[in-house]
Chains A and B, each alone.
Chain A
């Protein structure tokens, strides 16, 4: 392939030049190309990273402070859900991991308004009993059915009607029965229809909670089709919730 044959017309003439084979060695060319490929492979990114949209409440206008706060208190006790995220850290401020390499994240969960406080500044026993702790465990497939674990099970059950209706829609989309636009429109319709009964989640994070734990919590909202959630400010009362739970449930 790399040689150029010089044809002599088939006849041997007197004084004709000797038949020569020109052979070009491509090995250095290949070497160089390989080096360049290696360079490009190591120095480039093929994947674009993904983004997650977050909308925080708009900053409070001093003139409108009162109306804004009044609007925030409208949440019905029956629908209110609070989750507080905490991540365990060691003395070097690094995240602790379990045997499987997952970060040790705790999700404190209570329904309704904040647990009642007694006169001594501690939570009342009824209040303390409301607090539960879960972790992010995702879901597994067992016998063709999706089984939810941890906080996802709780949130899924709280928002069962919407989550299952949207999951059915998702299946239809996967089978190409409907396109993305119809899916989005229908999913929105379902969420709107159940707006009054679906949970209103407040997500709070301790100071030490890892960024990934907060993102996981936001993910749970998406997975469980919860459309009404907000990121709240972590207060001393929330610390009290955690402390009470830890005191009542020593490891």
Chain B
């Protein structure tokens, strides 16, 4: 009687090909993607038929958030400098995002002090920490305290939309003890100080983008935000002669709606 031979098959699957594919995919994703920016509040931009892409370098992004009741605006700012490390030719990297931010903080603090007489007390270490932060939004007098916090605490501080200390103040700021504004007689808000500082940052590409066609300013607001709240920001920009700017939108087809 012949025995029935059961052929033993190996269950080993060759994974080399699979590995090749995954490595290729991984390379693709690593090369094509940019990381999601960490933002204090999640906003969904309104749909529009406009196809102009947002600038990737030399742009001041203004993020407009609101509290739950949608009656208070929280404004955050993201400063992006020159992406090309070879610009300017005589001093490569001088307008990088980090340098732009450090520079902006020093200038804004000095401007704030000359206008109000209050010293925000920004140290060199603060400037260094600040240059690494993408999107920020705290009153100038809170800046030192904010920059001394750990990263988790910082995220919690600006991420809490019910916190009145989150966001760059849009209202004309408080005069000093004597009730007067030192130095100049004009009333400008902290947000306007920041925008003005960026405009005079010495980076010609950013100054031009903010002045001429407005591509250097991108306002990002949620689609459900009431217009009068967004308008507070737009009016602040308009009164310092930055009346041209762009707003961030999500692309839709014109026949879709």
Binding site for B on A (CB under 8 A): 1-2, 23, 25-27, 29-30, 33-34, 36-37, 40-41, 43-46, 48-59, 85, 93-95, 102, 136-141, 205-216, 218-219, 222-223, 234
Contacts and interface: CB of A to CB of B under 8 A. Distances in A.
B4 interface: no
Interface string B11-33: 01011111100110110011011
Contacts of B26: 33, 36-37, 40
Contact of A44 (B12, B34, B71): B34
A211 B257 contact: no
Contact of A37 (B17, B22, B52, B246): B22
B244 A59 contact: no
A52 B50 contact: yes
Contacts of B32: 46
A45 B225 CA distance: 24
Contacts of B246: 51-54
A50 B14 contact: no
A92 B82 CA distance: 42
B56 interface: yes
B22 A211 contact: no
Given A209-B227, A215-B48, A222-B50, A45 B34 contact: yes
Contacts of B117: none
B97 interface: no
A148 B95 CA distance: 48
Contacts of A40: 26, 29-30, 33
B221 A59 contact: no
Contact of A216 (B15, B22, B244, B257): B257
B52 to A, nearest CB: 5
A44 B245 contact: no
Contacts of A234: 228
A44 B35 CA distance: 4
Nearest to B49: A219
Classify the secondary structure of B's interface with A.
mixed
B257 A30 contact: no
Interface string B183-223: 00000000000000000000000000000011100100111
A35 to B, nearest CB: 10
Nearest to B254: A223
Contact of B256 (A44, A55, A138, A215): A138
Contact of A50 (B51, B215, B225): B51
Contacts of A216: 46-48, 257
B241 interface: yes
Interface string B44-68: 0111111111111000000000000
Contact of B226 (A30, A44, A208): A208
A206 B36 CA distance: 34
Given A44-B36, A59-B243, A212-B224, 17 more contacts: A25-B15, A30-B19, A43-B35, A49-B54, A49-B248, A50-B54, A51-B53, A54-B245, A54-B246, A55-B244, A93-B226, A207-B226, A210-B46, A210-B223, A210-B225, A213-B227, A219-B48
A93 to B, nearest CB: 5
A38 to B, nearest CB: 10
A95 B44 CA distance: 14
A51 B17 contact: no
A1 B15 CA distance: 9
B123 interface: no
A206 B240 CA distance: 24
Nearest to A89: B226
Contact of B53 (A23, A29, A50, A95): A50
A59 B213 CA distance: 16
A139 B238 CA distance: 34
